[in-house]
Structure 1
Amino acid sequence: MGKWIKTALGCGVLYGVLSGLCAPALANTTATIAQAQAAGNSPGRSQSTGLHQTAPSTVPTTPAVPLVPVVRMALLLPLDSAALGRAAEAVRAGFMAAYERDKDGVIVTLIETDDSVQQTLSGYKDAVGNQDLVVGPLSRAGVSAIAQSGAVRIPTIALNQAETAGAEALAPSALPRNLLLMGLSLDDEARQVADWASAGQTERRALIVSTNAAWQRRAAKAFGAQWQRRGLHAQSMVLGFASGFLDGNGLDQLRHRIQNEKPALLFVALDAEQTRQLREAVGQDVVMYGTSQLNPYALPDWDTAERLPQLEQVHLLDLPWQLQADHSAVMAYPRTTLPADQRRSVDLERLYALGIDAYRVAREIAARHAHFEIDGVTGKLRVDFGAGATRFERIEQTAIYQDGAVVPDFAAQ
């Protein structure tokens, strides 16, 4: 069973229980903020969790303020995992940053687990019996287990994708109606890139390049399937990669293929450093598209980052959080603070942004909005939930390398 930390922050109270169920939970969604506000004195600090807490006190018989509905949200994250703890903390920080901006009528309960399927399922099932809505889990294995558990009885916003034992994505028809998947997905990015690059084209041929890394194989497969779905032709090439370098013989073969086959574009399911090596080997004559992995810096770090002229005019997608400092939603939320000499992790920045948008989506679903759109920090979000089939779509910002740096490409949208 995971550790539960009951956070009545929207009501001015925070208290925690480290094992078993939460301290006396509000009985239902007609519980009052006034009752929660009366539940504590001066804040203390929990040695086990690092969270502020107050001791419960007697709830007055007569509320001090009028009754208002309270929504109980559980945030289920693998904070006790050695492998996923930092990622989970980034999501938690983003979620709570959004909560602090819009917290009226919401109580958040943090459920800490490790990354095991058993503990994730246990924490989730406990939450279903005590909460109105669950956000999480974060791991692909955890989401897959919950999706197939038969336990999804309340609205649940999962932060990753669900897949079968054979690592194939679960079909939408196999997902519970109360389950919304809104994780950041390179597969989804690859499909969006295919739609973007193929727009208005009828005979464009693409060459897809990746290594054997699992995420790259998935992105390459997703791009190829979407490209062919649009009636276009694509071929693939897998490059060897070891000790930080793409295989030289493979790069020579790729260069010859480009010269002989003359593809309209390359889709590079690679990271920025791998693509830099590839571009140096094959030149800049062929158009290149890729995913957010081509952006190696967090937005605040580009001011002092080393430029990458080898990637000039390469096209990619990324989150508004990573591209648009003047975006209205991006400006509304604080960034994490780091020592001046420490570089931000782009992956953690994206997960922080995911936490922000997860809370915003959760509030809309808690308000029983069945169809809504959010101009979020992770992209333009479209959600159908609670009336018919559940659907989630994220459209990320198109971008391009100019003068060796990643900038938004508004003309492409």
Structure 2
Amino acid sequence: MQRSTTSHLLLVSLLYWCGWLIATGVASAQTPSTDPASQAGPHIAVLLPLKSASIGRQADAVRLGILEASKVHRATTLPVIVHATGDDAYDVVQAYEEAVRSGAQLVIGPLMRSAVTALSGTKLVTVPTLALNAPEVDTAIPPALYVFGLQVENEAKQVAQLARKQSRKNAVIVASDAPLSRRLAQAFADEFARHGGTIQDEFSYTSDTPSLMKLRDSLAAGFGDVIFLALDATRARLIRSYLGNSTPIFATSMVHSSNDALSSHELDGVYFVDMPWLLTPDHPAVMSYSRNDQAGLEFQRFYALGIDAYRICQELLRGSQSAAPIDGVTGYITLGRDHRFLREPIPAQFTQGEMRLLGEGVSGLPQ
């Protein structure tokens, strides 16, 4: 009887401790986790700042574009797993390390420049990785790291090439004090000079009427034969009326911020470049994907970035050192030096409240 009682107490004790272990989570390793990084196995990891208050919406647009492309292009059986991060570059690097450890065969991201810079300075990049922005410093990047994105500095270079192809030799640049505007101005100036052109002068953007009239008079006197606006749409619209119509005006996609006819009228005559996703929505390659025209242009640009990022990754997964060119929705994409994918958008012009495509050979540009 005593032995039976002792056995009963031991059994009760054992059941109690098992219940306590489960309740306190010590045995939680036996339960599935909702954390994507814990889902071990081969996959494509998508590293995006979805938790960011400043760029979370753009990151979600990229996510949706990637998922849309994964439905259309089923060249791989690898699942796509999204790893949500915040703004902190250190946290992004940690998330990257966890993604690779959990079985990522390829990584898309990071999206923010600070995070790309931090990652490129480590030795963690051991699988093909497509960063969606350029590092902040122009230095060598890890062999497995590739760079692609919506950097408008590259658009400024393309605009400089377009101007030189039309025998424009003397450029006038209008830029603000904003860091991005300064980078645009420098990119245009370097490329224009590299192709034999001369930067005649650079004007600082201002809303001061006397200063704008001085700029107008200088242009009327034949001071330059081409104008480059390193400005966003708001500033470009404010300054446009002072630039006249005799000198060709070039800009980047930054001036195309709305499909509103009035906004387009205010930029009448300005040449710019932008992605096929926005300029040729009826093109068969663009129509392959679902779209939401009610979303703003910024959202659509990042959505298109996600689509092309996934397509590039299909090339990288094939293991080729020279990825085939892609007729993408963000532009014609080729692999350049230093593992940097180059995106060539298409030229257009604001004309009477509409956007007119210039077509191949940019035949619509003034001679």
Q: TM-score range by the shorter chain?
A: 0.7 to 0.9
Seen in structure 2, the aligned counterparts of structure 1 residues 389 and 140 have a Cα distance that, compared at 3 Å, is: closer
Partner of 2:359: 410
1:309 deviation in Å? 2.6
Seen in structure 2, the aligned counterparts of structure 1 residues 308 and 21 have a Cα distance that, compared at 3 Å, is: closer
Q: Which has the larger Rg?
A: 2
Question: Which of 305, 310, 314 is the aligned partner of 1:354?
Answer: 305
1:126 deviation in Å? 1.3
Q: Does 1:381 align with 2:321?
A: no
Seen in structure 2, the aligned counterparts of structure 1 residues 17 and 403 have a Cα distance that, compared at 3 Å, is: farther
Partner of 1:180: 146
SS in 2 for 1:308: helix
Query: Structure 1: how far apart are the matches of 2:106 and 2:327?
Result: 22
Question: Which of 285, 298, 317 is the aligned partner of 1:329?
Answer: 285
Partner of 2:275: 319
SS in 2 for 1:21: helix
Q: What is the TM-score with the length of structure 1 in the denominator?
A: 0.75
Query: Structure 2: how far apart are the matches of 1:89 and 1:17?
Result: 23
Alignment of 1:76-87 (within 5 A): 76-87=47-58
Query: Structure 2: how far apart are the matches of 1:17 and 1:155?
Result: 26
The structure 1 segments of at least 4 consecutive aligned residues displaced by more than 4 Å after TM superposition are none
Name the % identity: 33
Seen in structure 2, the aligned counterparts of structure 1 residues 137 and 258 have a Cα distance that, compared at 3 Å, is: same
Number of positions where the alignment pairs a residue of Structure 1 with one of Structure 2: 327
Q: Which has the higher helix share?
A: 2
Question: Which of 126, 132, 157 is the aligned partner of 1:191?
Answer: 157
Cα-to-partner distance string for 1:218-243 (whole Å, 9 max, x where unaligned): 10110011111112111211113xxx
SS in 2 for 1:157: strand
Q: What RMSD over aligned residues (CA atoms) do the two structures have, in Å?
A: 2.0
Unaligned stretches of 5+ residues in structure 1: 1-15, 29-71, 165-169, 241-245, 339-343
Question: Which of 349, 361, 366 is the aligned partner of 1:400?
Answer: 349
Q: Does 1:121 align with 2:93?
A: yes
Check whether the contact 1:152–1:176 (CA below 8 A) recurs between aligned residues.
yes
Aligned partner letter, 1:335: R
**Larger relative contact order (CA 8 Å, sep ≥ 6):** 2
Check whether the contact 1:275–1:311 (CA below 8 A) recurs between aligned residues.
yes
Partner of 2:27: none
Q: What is the TM-score with the length of structure 2 in the denominator?
A: 0.84
Check whether the contact 2:172–2:224 (CA below 8 A) recurs between aligned residues.
yes
Check whether the contact 1:291–1:316 (CA below 8 A) recurs between aligned residues.
yes
Q: Which has the higher strand share?
A: 1
Check whether the contact 1:290–1:317 (CA below 8 A) recurs between aligned residues.
yes
Aligned partner letter, 1:159: L
Cα-to-partner distance string for 1:268-323 (whole Å, 9 max, x where unaligned): 011233222212123222210000012122xxxx4x74363332221100000010
Partner of 2:229: 268
Unaligned stretches of 5+ residues in structure 2: 1-31, 363-367
SS in 2 for 1:281: coil
Aligned partner letter, 1:356: I
Query: Structure 2: how far apart are the matches of 1:353 and 1:212?
Result: 29
Cα-to-partner distance string for 1:68-121 (whole Å, 9 max, x where unaligned): xxxx21000000111111010010011111011123412111100001011111
Partner of 1:95: 66
Partner of 2:84: 112
Aligned partner letter, 2:290: P
